[in-house]
């Protein structure tokens, strides 16, 4: 049996990941009709349907989910072997997957120091607005926010996930806040992935749930923090990743009380990569940066 082409398999992987032929076409720089044609050709070659197509929906079939799982593993191994060859006979490359806010606040502002130290190593950084709950198969190193368990992976705890209430000094000037009760009637900013954060924060302090005048929901932490800095409202922000903003005065911590979650920022990689000198050097550097952050 002739194996499907790499191009068709890659198109299937991207379409399955994004859940959209249109989005896959944009990522692959082809037309949506080309993606659809390649998927149909792949399904014909396999003799099974990989997607359930609706009017506005696209979902994997059981066969599609099973095939994707193995395709991800195969591509991850292929990329790893390819880059090991590059590392032995050319430049090495490390594929790093990190949450966007972590990248913007902690990683990227300091990365030049590592780059100057390791000039023969290329780093490919991928951020995603969705929060992966485990190590992506295409990554060499990843930073995940979660609780584990991290079966089959080497895990290094970076720091605990916690939140404090904060706003801009301008917002505080216009809306004086001296006690917890003063939060009632204010505009609260809410992260879409943590809709219960304010309720959990109030419960941890032993107070009644806060009754805001307005609730503004945003889909990522970068937007939440920016909205707070712009004086739009009060946000729960991670103090470890916003320390520079507190030091600069663009954000003001309203109370010392923190909401401590059961989640941690964790650095993950596969055990077989313990022998990669370039990867282990970047791992040690990230651990050092998190200790001093």
In a domain, 76, yes or no: no
In this prediction, residue 89 carries a pLDDT of 59
Position 54 pLDDT exceeds 80: yes
In this prediction, residue 75 carries a pLDDT of 83
Same domain, 20 and 127: no
Mean pLDDT (whole number) for 152-162: 92
What is the number of structural domains in the chain? 2
Structural domain ending residue among the three candidates 69, 102, 121? 69
Within 8 A by CB and 6+ apart from 214, the residues are 187, 188, 233
In a domain, 194, yes or no: yes
State pTM to two decimals.
0.66
Same domain, 130 and 10: no
Same domain, 56 and 96: no
Same domain, 151 and 233: yes
Same domain, 16 and 97: no
Q: Tokens representing 147? A: 């609780």
Structural domain ending residue among the three candidates 21, 37, 69? 69
In a domain, 121, yes or no: yes
In a domain, 77, yes or no: no
- Please state the separation of Cα 217 from the chain's center in Å: 18
Same domain, 185 and 275: yes
Q: What is the CATH number of the domain that holds 65?
A: 1.10.10.10
Same domain, 45 and 170: no
Mean pLDDT (whole number) for 18-38: 90
In this prediction, residue 84 carries a pLDDT of 65
Q: Tokens representing 127? A: 């951020």
Give yes or no for a contact between 230 and 168, defined as CB atoms under 8 angstroms apart.
yes
Same domain, 175 and 101: yes
Mean pLDDT (whole number) for 220-231: 94
Mean pLDDT (whole number) for 8-17: 91
Q: Residue 39: which domain range?
A: 6-69
Same domain, 177 and 235: yes
Mean pLDDT (whole number) for 48-61: 89
Q: Which candidate, 198, 187, 293, places its Cα nearest to that of 246?
A: 293
Q: What is the CATH number of the domain that holds 191?
A: 3.40.190.290
Same domain, 42 and 145: no
In a domain, 250, yes or no: yes
Rounded CA separation 23/160 (Å): 34
In a domain, 115, yes or no: yes
Same domain, 64 and 102: no
Same domain, 128 and 37: no
Structural domain ending residue among the three candidates 38, 69, 100? 69
Q: For the segment 82-131, what is each residue's pLDDT rounded down to a tens digit? A: 766 665 655 678 889 999 999 999 999 888 888 877 677 788 888 875 56
In a domain, 84, yes or no: no
Percentage of the chain beyond pLDDT 90 is: 53
- Number of other residues whose CB lies within 10 A of the CB of residue 202: 16
Instruction: Give the chain's mean pLDDT.
Output: 88
In this prediction, residue 27 carries a pLDDT of 86
Q: Which candidate, 214, 161, 206, places its Cα nearest to that of 181?
A: 206
Integer-rounded Cα Rg, in Å, for the chain is 23
In this prediction, residue 251 carries a pLDDT of 96
């Amino acid at each position: 049996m002739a194996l499907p082409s790499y191009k068709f398999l890659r198109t299937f992987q991207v379409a399955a990941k994004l859940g959209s032929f249109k989005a896959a076409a944009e990522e692959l720089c082809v037309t949506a009709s080309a993606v659809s044609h390649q998927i149909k050709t792949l399904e014909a070659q396999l003799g099974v349907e990989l997607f359930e197509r609706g009017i506005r929906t696209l979902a994997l079939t059981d066969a599609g989910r099973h095939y994707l799982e193995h395709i991800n593993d195969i591509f991850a191994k292929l990329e790893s072997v390819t880059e090991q060859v590059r590392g032995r006979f050319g430049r090495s490359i490390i594929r790093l997957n990190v949450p966007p806010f972590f990248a913007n606040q902690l990683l990227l502002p300091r990365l030049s120091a590592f780059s100057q130290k390791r000039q023969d190593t290329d780093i490919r950084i991928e951020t995603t607005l969705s929060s992966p709950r485990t190590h992506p198969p295409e990554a060499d190193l990843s930073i995940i926010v979660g609780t584990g368990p991290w079966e089959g992976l080497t895990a290094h705890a970076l720091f605990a996930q916690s939140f404090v209430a904060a706003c801009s000094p301008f917002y505080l000037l216009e809306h004086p806040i001296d006690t917890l009760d003063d939060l009632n009637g204010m505009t609260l900013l809410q992260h879409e992935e943590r809709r219960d954060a304010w309720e959990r924060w109030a419960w941890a302090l032993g107070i009644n749930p806060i009754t805001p005048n307005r609730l503004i929901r945003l889909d990522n932490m970068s937007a939440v923090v920016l909205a707070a800095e712009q004086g739009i409202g009060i946000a729960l922000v991670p103090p470890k990743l916003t320390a520079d903003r507190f030091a600069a005065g663009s954000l003001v911590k309203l109370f010392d009380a923190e909401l401590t979650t059961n989640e941690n920022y964790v650095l993950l990689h596969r055990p077989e990569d313990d022998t990669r000198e370039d990867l282990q050097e970047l791992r040690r550097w990230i651990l050092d940066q998190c200790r001093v952050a």
